[in-house]
Amino acid sequence: MIAPELLRTAPMAKESDFYTIATLGSHSALQILKGAHDEGFKTLAIANRKTERLYRSFAFVDEVIGIESYDDFPSVVPQLEQRKVIMVPHGSFVAYLSLDEHKRMSIPYFGNKAVLDWEASRELQRQWLTRAGLLVPRQFKTAAEIDRPVIVKLYGAQGGKGYMFVRDAADFERRASELGRENYILQEYIIGVPLYIHYFYSPLSGKLEIMSMDRRYETNVDSLGRIPAAAQEGMDVSPSYVVVGNSPLSLRESMLAEAYRMGEDVVRVSQEICPPKGLFGAFCIETIITPDAQFYIMEISARIVAGTNLFIDGSPYSYLNYSEPMSTGRRIAREIKNALLSNSLDAVLDDSGVRN
């Protein structure tokens, strides 16, 4: 393991000048590339024609490869394989590339692709979270069991759409025809405060860090919440959870220990289900906090999330650890640099991406 003090004050690694940190031009790419630049790496954005000019406008982006659409990303893989490129994934990799394409990508890749199957499946995610001792909302096998408010989640729902809310079993029966032949999950609807906790786990030091936290602005559900329930009666508006922005949030300090424990246990179980490396690098646990200060876990994202874009100059939590600006994007680059310094690059890359 690398010494903790080196993780905080790692000098510029001369060898890092020969590596390029690359990512898709979307989601959290600016944060990732700015962090890589600040840690001494060359930077590369693979951007589509609509965003190419944007990424060329930033001085810390050394190179931009333009493609017509992100569906064309596999066409640039052969040329990237010939270079000393390390790919940093984010949410747009999940959205634009199929799971199989993601796994087949042989460019050195920060993270563990074995975790992708567990992240992509709601059933496997639930197994992972419950094995970690985290509290998850109840799921109902049949509509007849519904005895409380339920959110009906359609399989493959994306972009914050594909949800329906019902009050009880009778309400579901009245509205079941709206689902057609779609597959769905019946999940207890937890009323509370949404909180997204951003973590970073270092396989080099074996240490977990809380990097930052956020909550999301979603449309049109946040607007609906401002309309009294009585006034909503009869309105033909379906709630949508399309995320349009994020706002920072800090957690009551007495609850931080539980937030940290949840992250530790998620990592521990990941090493059991995806041995030996498990989950490492950036990840996020999506929670709902109830009035009795109980965390319910809704989802886990096994990668950097867009809510970290609020903290390109660091957060209160990252400042406590580093006393310097440390975004999650920069923390990823710092981990890669530390791996180079300690001759342990294979510890932070997926096995299929390791190069001699």
Q: Assign residue 167 the CATH number of its domain.
A: 3.30.1490.20
Report the alpha-carbon distance of residue 208 to residue 58 in Å, rounded: 31
10 and 95 assigned to the same domain: yes
154 and 206 assigned to the same domain: no
Dihedral angle at the C-alpha atoms of 140, 146, 147, 152, nearest 10 degrees?
80
Report the alpha-carbon distance of residue 157 to residue 265 in Å, rounded: 28
130 and 12 assigned to the same domain: yes
In this prediction, residue 4 has a pLDDT band, given cuts at 50, 70 and 90, of very low
Residue 225: inside a domain:
no
**Residue 114, both tokens:** 């074995």
338 and 207 assigned to the same domain: yes
Length of the chain: 356
Residue 43 belongs to what H/E stretch? strand 42-48
Supply the range of the domain harboring residue 65.
4-134+192-220+244-349
The alpha carbon dihedral of 351, 29, 243, 210 has a sign of positive
Identify the CA nearest to 281 among candidates 7, 88, 91: 88
Report the alpha-carbon distance of residue 41 to residue 189 in Å, rounded: 45
Residue 60 backbone dihedrals phi, psi, to 5 degrees: -80, -5
In this prediction, residue 230 has a pLDDT band, given cuts at 50, 70 and 90, of low
For residue range 63-113, what is the model confidence (pLDDT) as tens digits? 999 999 998 999 999 999 999 999 999 988 888 888 888 888 889 999 999
In the chain, the number of structural domains is 2
The one-letter amino acid code at 51 reads T
Residue 174 backbone dihedrals phi, psi, to 5 degrees: -65, -30
Lowest average pLDDT, out of 50-59, 114-123, 194-203, goes to 114-123
Q: Which residues contact 170 (CB under 8 A, 6 or more apart)?
A: none
- What was the pLDDT predicted at 164? 78
Q: Assign residue 66 the CATH number of its domain.
A: 3.30.470.20
**Residue 29, both tokens:** 């790419």
Report the alpha-carbon distance of residue 285 to residue 133 in Å, rounded: 14
Q: pTM (2 decimals)? A: 0.88
126 and 146 assigned to the same domain: no
Residue 212: inside a domain:
yes
Report the alpha-carbon distance of residue 194 to residue 352 in Å, rounded: 36
146 and 18 assigned to the same domain: no
**CA 283 to chain CA centroid, nearest Å:** 5
150 and 298 assigned to the same domain: no
Parallel, antiparallel, or unpaired: how do β-strands 20-24 and 42-48 relate? parallel
For residue range 130-170, what is the model confidence (pLDDT) as tens digits? 999 999 999 998 888 998 888 887 765 454 556 778 888 88
173 and 304 assigned to the same domain: no
203 and 74 assigned to the same domain: yes
Q: CB–CB of 92/72 below 8 Å?
A: no
Using the predicted structure, report yes or no on whether residue 306 has a pLDDT greater than 60.
Answer: yes
Q: CB–CB of 41/20 below 8 Å?
A: yes
The domain boundary, picked from 188, 212, 229, lies at 188
Report the alpha-carbon distance of residue 4 to residue 306 in Å, rounded: 27
115 and 156 assigned to the same domain: no
Residue 236: inside a domain:
no
49 and 143 assigned to the same domain: no
- What was the pLDDT predicted at 152? 85
* Average confidence (pLDDT) over 54-64: 98
Residue 108: inside a domain:
yes
In this prediction, residue 302 has a pLDDT band, given cuts at 50, 70 and 90, of very high
Residue 99: inside a domain:
yes
48 and 109 assigned to the same domain: yes
Residue 227: inside a domain:
no
